Structure 1
């Protein structure tokens, strides 16, 4: 088994099982010293969901070091023979090892987590040839993958919010407060004050999105 941490769509166990049907021991944990950031162009949103390549609403979620921040994420054990599918799903990320702790504070086994790359590092380390890069990225999208001026793909952000909310208000609150736009300054909580249309209707009465909870953010 390979222990894996998921922080965006993998907060949905169903989504995780779509790629890793044999996963085991799915649970919530904390990873200290990281925050989420929506700064990676989601090629799948362009290639598979019809988003225009020139749209700014095209980002998916990554992570980056952030002192004093603690993200609530999912940790699960992936069979070795199924990790290849997960690796392909998350191909444009860098994989790192992190130490997680249970919500009760108990240290977990070290886990692999996706984090940010640069375009040059991705081409040098993940795409052996120009032809492979073209097949994976270039035939769908010609710009930079890692950017500071993009916004979340709406359907993806909604899915992440619903997935976090499934685990309870504390997890949803953590998600909106420890996730940021690509600019690195605007929290998802603040963004959703301005873009309330992106809050799923089933979540609009949750504490994370009530007026009192939003004030001051």
Structure 2
């Protein structure tokens, strides 16, 4: 199923908004660290998208966990893919917290996407952090913001990266630990249905070739935030 992007508006009458988590938010504990007032946390299925570690995240540079010399500073997003199919988390947040959600996920294009309950009983739409474009980012946040958050670290693009870009080691470990807390099925689904920048190499294959990533301890100041 291909899901098109469109301009998002939320009814003022909506008290709560479903959010779709596809990385570290697959752990309820991790999700609650970002959304302490969430309700109805559950696993669901997302179709029509592919999960890829393909763009540099400014926050990794700000927190000094990016490795620029080895290009290990990629974060997760999803992009349309007709045959995509993987497990996600879904949960509801108060509508008054949506502004903070958009500010925290500033580099993404936020779309509404349909998610299926695992028992097939219902399809519901939730907010999803999708790959965007540099032009969209600059139009929304301004050139000055782009230069401060990306240009100052020697990055000329967020979404038009050319060539190899590898996962931020601490962040990838964090995501795998979070999925492990959600159960073996969730962990395995993440490993085989998440891809590197080439859209071919799975995270499972990448970790098999780079097992030291799972031994990569975050800085003490970030230990709680990046431990699943």
Give the root-mean-square deviation of aligned CA atoms: 1.9
Distance in 2 (alpha carbons) for counterparts of 1:12 and 1:186: 24
Corresponding residue for 2:143? 130
Distance in 1 (alpha carbons) for counterparts of 2:27 and 2:152: 30
- TM-score, L = length of structure 1: 0.84
Out of 9, 15, 19, which is 2:24 matched to? Answer: 9
After TM superposition, the structure 1 stretch with the greater mean CA deviation from structure 2, 113-122 or 134-143, is 134-143
Query: How far apart are residue 75 of structure 1 and its match?
Result: 0.5
| Counterpart contact for 2:49–2:78, Cα < 8 Å | yes
List runs of 5+ in structure 1 lacking aligned partners.
Answer: 202-217
After TM superposition, the structure 1 stretch with the greater mean CA deviation from structure 2, 143-152 or 54-63, is 143-152
Q: How does 1:1-217 map to 2 (within 5 A)?
A: 1-124=16-139, 126-127=140-141, 129-146=142-159, 147=161, 148-199=163-214
Query: How far apart are residue 55 of structure 1 and its match?
Result: 4.1
| Counterpart contact for 1:7–1:74, Cα < 8 Å | yes
| Counterpart contact for 2:180–2:186, Cα < 8 Å | yes
Distance in 2 (alpha carbons) for counterparts of 1:149 and 1:118: 18
Aligned residues: 199
| Counterpart contact for 1:5–1:113, Cα < 8 Å | yes
Distance in 1 (alpha carbons) for counterparts of 2:155 and 2:167: 19
Query: How far apart are residue 50 of structure 1 and its match?
Result: 4.2
